[in-house]
A and B are shown apart, each in its own frame.
Chain A
Amino acid sequence: MSELPAVVASRAVADGGRRRRERLPGEPRRIGYLYIAPAFLLFAAFNLVPLVQGINVSLYNWDGISPATWVGFANYGEFFTSPDIRSGYLHVLILMIFYSFLPIIIGLFLAAVMSRIRIRGLTFFRMLLFLPLVITDVVTAVAWIWIYDATGPLSTTLKAVGLGHFVPSAGWLGDFNTALPAVGVFGMWGQFGFCLILFLAGVMKIPATLYEAARVDGANAVREFFAVTLPGLRYELQVVLVLTVIGTLGTFDEIYVLTAGGPGTSTTVPAYLVWRRAFQTGQVGSAAALGIILMLIIFAVTYGINRLMERGAET
């Protein structure tokens, strides 16, 4: 699912969920089926039906063209035995630090440091900060290919300040050690503006009385952050965490454009493996299984984060 609506969606449901308590004006009406039928049929035909078919395909050894042979859960077993898949998930875990953890930390830190003053021209700054998210990865990746080039601005700047020995001769995306972090920094750049804006807005709506109370209790800035700001941002945190983690697990576009999984296999990720197996190397059953596993992991992670945050809210 694409980034923009997903962000909104969780909020939209949140609103919907809250208002469910209100009495709805409608009474039972069969005509409702007619209203939802077009949307649901189209949605089901291209989302739910293929999901079911995908589960089926994942139980076969199939090259996509000749008749398939039933292999049960063997394709799922690969998850535990194949070094390719293992390293794909390892890479995505590392990317999570950049796509999720660091933008949240940076966003929280800035939101805490910046005081709760109306910033003049915030609309303008917000627009600039949103640009990395609005423009598609395929375009922004071109910018970063240039930045990461062996003769690009990053290398040139480092050389100019005497740190030339850090510059990989193959460029940042061509070197085994730097390619994955380089992809990570690209993703971090795409996320941090959104986190910052969301947290800034969240801080604004924390009642001033809470801060006053903390101050009366003699809390210093750090205590104030953990006692007031962080709990006040719990909801924003949950949304950002879920969205960035799901987003990272589905990383594909930037890998396709920036590194194609290389050098070697140093930047392969699960979604890229699904695509390659399904459409390049004719391992269709295995690709389907990988896709289903990815979905289950996304379910589990989402569920886990929610439980964690809700428990945090209760204590």
Chain B
Amino acid sequence: MTTNSRAQITLNYALIIACSLIAIYPLVGVVLASLYPSGTSSSPSGFALPPTFAWHNYVAAWDQGKFAASFTTSIIVAAVMVPASVVLSVVAGYAFATMHFRGSKVIFYLFILGLIIPTEATIVPLFYDVRALHLLDTYWALILLEVSGELAFGVFWMRAAFLSAPPSLLEAARIDGASSWQTMRKVMVPFARPAILTLAVLTFADSWNEFFLALVFTVSHTTAPAGLASFSGRYTTNIPLVSAGAVIVAVPILIVFIIFQREFMRGMLTGAVKG
């Protein structure tokens, strides 16, 4: 066992604090930059407080970046796509974990395949498919594509969660004569509640952060990150204004991250800790 010397403890804290500072430096910097007076010649060059706090940048960025519109899109898309993708994943994951049927393994492996197919390999035909469905530049394009993009992961996640249920749970339900659907609703879903919450949080994060699909499939119904990219492309030189836009786009995901921190961490580290 390593010696818990005072020096070693100090070193540990010094290192983790240093790393944390590196991780947040650019983020704190962008918040400070967003408060500098807007303009082309006043971009902050250091890590100092602005001379005066230009809160007005946020109002200006919100208006000029048309974030009201892109936030609306992001919210509508997330509100439909998160429940849809979670429900489909739960139901399919449940079947993969508790039932045997011909071809279930091959189908499951097709889902695995989905995990590593890069969007670049499908984006070209997808564009023409979505156009043929008359869905270009609609919420539905984003909703359908995001849900189908999350399913590969969601099905895995839920299958693993249901597999970790003690067999006694299922047997008890069967002895009670519950149908498979009832078993799922009354026994398995309550059991897997934490895993489902984690899935929902991660799915929301993905949906909120979606950029590439919005860039390709939408024009007037663009998402918050795509709106930011367009905004920052227009005002590249006005660093305070663009920074304010960036902060605006980051705030919702930050709030969700802080509230559901445990779920985020579980999602990303569970396997490693348990493994």
Contact = CB atoms under 8 A, between A and B. Distances in A.
Chain A partners chain B: yes
A39 interface: yes
A127 B100 contact: no
B264 A113 contact: no
A270 B29 contact: no
B49 interface: no
Chain B interface, >50% SS class: helix
A110 interface: yes
Given A12-B160, A143-B30, A196 B272 contact: no
Nearest to A120: B13
Contacts of B72: none
A51 B117 contact: yes
Interface stretch (A93-101, A149-157, A307-315): A149-157
Contacts of A56: 125
A187 interface: no
Task: Choose among A143, A147, A239, A256 the residue with the greatest number of B CB atoms under 10 Å from its CB.
Answer: A143
Contacts of B174: 25
Contacts of B189: none
B269 A201 contact: yes
Interface in A197-250: 197-198, 201-202, 204-205, 208, 211-212, 235-236, 239, 246, 249-250
Contact of A278 (B94, B123, B210, B236): B123
B139 interface: no
**Most chain B beta-carbon neighbours within 10 Å: one of A129, A135, A202:** A135
B164 A15 contact: yes
Interface in B66-117: 88-89, 91-92, 94-102, 104, 107, 110-117
A39 B91 contact: yes
A187 B16 CA distance: 20
A2 interface: yes
Contacts of A24: 97-98, 100
A138 interface: yes
A26 to B, nearest CB: 4
B149 A291 contact: no
Interface of A: 1-2, 4-16, 19-20, 22-33, 35-36, 38-40, 42-51, 53-54, 56-57, 64, 110, 113-117, 119, 122-123, 125-132, 134-140, 142-147, 149, 151-153, 155-157, 189, 192-194, 196-198, 201-202, 204-205, 208, 211-212, 235-236, 239, 246, 249-250, 252-253, 256-257, 270-271, 274-275, 278-279, 284, 287-288, 290-292, 294-295, 298-299, 302
7 contacts: A9-B157, A15-B164, A45-B148, A50-B126, A149-B43, A204-B273, A302-B116
Interface of B: 1-4, 8-9, 11-13, 15-17, 19-20, 22-24, 26-27, 29-30, 33, 43-47, 88-89, 91-92, 94-102, 104, 107, 110-129, 144-145, 147-157, 159-160, 163-164, 167, 170-171, 174, 180, 202-203, 205-206, 208-212, 215-216, 225-226, 228-229, 232, 236, 239, 242-243, 245-246, 249-250, 253-254, 257-258, 261, 264-265, 267-275
